[in-house]
Amino acid sequence: MTVETKMPMVLDVISENIIKHGSPLALKGSEVSSWAKELDLPAKGEVLFYTGGEYQMLPFIDSLVKTITHLDQGSKVFSMMMGARNILNKTGFSPEKMYASVLAKDKDRYNSVCFKAAKVLQELGYEFCYSGKEELYSGALLYELGYLQDMEDYVKRVVEVIKKSGAKTIVCLSPHAAEVFKFVYPKMVEGFDFEIRTYVDLVWERRDKLAKLQSAESVVIHDSCRLARELGIHQELRDILVSIGADVKEAPMSREWTSCCGGPIKILFPELSHVIGERRVTELKESGSSHILTSCPYCLSALEAGRIKGDSAVVEDLIEFLYRGVKA
């Protein structure tokens, strides 16, 4: 027997946003792809550069969570939720209103990660295409949160966009996208035989061409769970950093034993997620370095939030770190 389950509203919002707008936070394609304006990337090619809009949406997640947690715990919970749900059903969640409070500097930072990634790859001699404002989110959260039946329909649309590019290889910036493309899509879409690669993987292959650091900076790697355990990529990160002359320190728990950043439960249990992020930052600093590098949008955002006020730790994505070499 099946029943109708009423789940916390944040799940409704996110899943419906993905299904209706191709983005967990209903961001517009034009906004998500704005980083690529000056790069003039082709729409077709052998290798598809895939962002999934994930880095771009990072600065908005917190406001969404804040707004919704507030709703869930407010006194007029139900009427407000009904109101919000109606808005959602009729017009989609209005990102403009919800996200008005997001700081411009955060928006700029996360929006530019994709730009930087593309630049680094170009510098290494890679050529690739990009779907621009048509690009759709991979649906990883549908998979993660249990909306698998909805995902079966959704992925068809994603695949259509991917196919338009004519690419044979998809390069994912986010390990979550790589995970679903690699392990979930083939089960849902017949003949989904693209070669799935990660950004890290591509950089690793041509790491000798990377610009060397001016002076040996010490860094510590936060291995993303997906990258280290599901995709088995952890040595590659170290190789890349060593090859540019960084002094790589190791945290007590790393590689396949890495501690999760807390990100995955952020939307439902934000406070707890935060505590876990804080603990991971502390653990990473035990390595002797406070310069934390990761290679996953959610880790980036969760660890950034896990820095306690006034903490001297620096949290960066590998992309941001490598880009500095390109610029120099």
Partner 1 sequence: MTVDLRKDFVNYAKSLNAASEDKNIRTAISRAVTSYRNTVTETLERFPHTPELAEEVQEIKRQSMANLDNLLETAMASVERNKGKAFYAKDHQAALDIALGIIGKGKTVVKGKSMLGEELHLREYLEDNGNEVWETDLGEFILQLRKERPMHILSPSIHVPREQVAEVFTKFFGKVVPPDIAEEVKVVKEFLREKYFTADIGISGANVVAADTGAMVIIENEGNVRLATGAPPVHIVMVGVEKLVPTFQEAMKVAEVTWRYAQYGVPGYVNIVSGPSKTGDIEKVTTYGAHGPKEFYVIFVDNGRNEMAHEEKFSQALHCLRCGGCMYECPVFQVTAGHFGHTYMGGIGAIWTAFVSGGMEKAAPLVYSCLRCGRCVERCPMSINVPAMIGELRERVIYGKLEG
Biggest CA–CA distance in the chain, Å, is: 65
Cα separation of the two ends of the chain: 63
Residue number with CB closer to partner 1 (283 or 311): 283
* Edge-to-edge strand list for the sheet holding 195-198: 47-50, 169-172, 195-198
- Shortest Å, Cβ 152 to partner 1: 11
Residue number with CB closer to partner 1 (127 or 271): 271
User: Could you give the count of Cα atoms lying within 13 Å of 123 in the half-sphere of its Cβ?
Assistant: 20
Residue number with CB closer to partner 1 (298 or 323): 298
Residue number with CB closer to partner 1 (278 or 320): 278
Residue number with CB closer to partner 1 (72 or 239): 72
238-277 as b/e, with b when 16 or more CB fall inside 10 Å? bebbebbebbbbebeebbeebbbbbbbebbbbbeebeebb
- Shortest Å, Cβ 34 to partner 1: 32
Give the interface with partner 1 as residue ranges (CB under 8 A). 1-9, 11, 72-73, 77, 143-149, 225, 229-230, 256-260, 262, 264-265, 268-269, 271-272, 275-276, 279-280
Residue number with CB closer to partner 1 (6 or 309): 6
Residue 136 CA to residue 154 CA, distance in Å, equals 10
Instruction: Determine the distance from the C-alpha atom of residue 117 to the mean position of all C-alpha atoms in its chain, rounded to a whole number.
Output: 13
Residues pairing with 167 in the sheet: none
Residue number with CB closer to partner 1 (6 or 76): 6
Number of other residues whose CB lies within 10 A of the CB of residue 2:
4
The residue behind tokens 């849902």 is 188
Structure tokens at 159: 């695949």
- Shortest Å, Cβ 155 to partner 1: 15
- Shortest Å, Cβ 115 to partner 1: 30
Q: Which amino acid is at 230?
A: E
- Shortest Å, Cβ 61 to partner 1: 16
- Shortest Å, Cβ 6 to partner 1: 4
- Shortest Å, Cβ 19 to partner 1: 13
Residue 232 contacts by C-beta under 8 Å, 6 or more apart in sequence? Answer: none
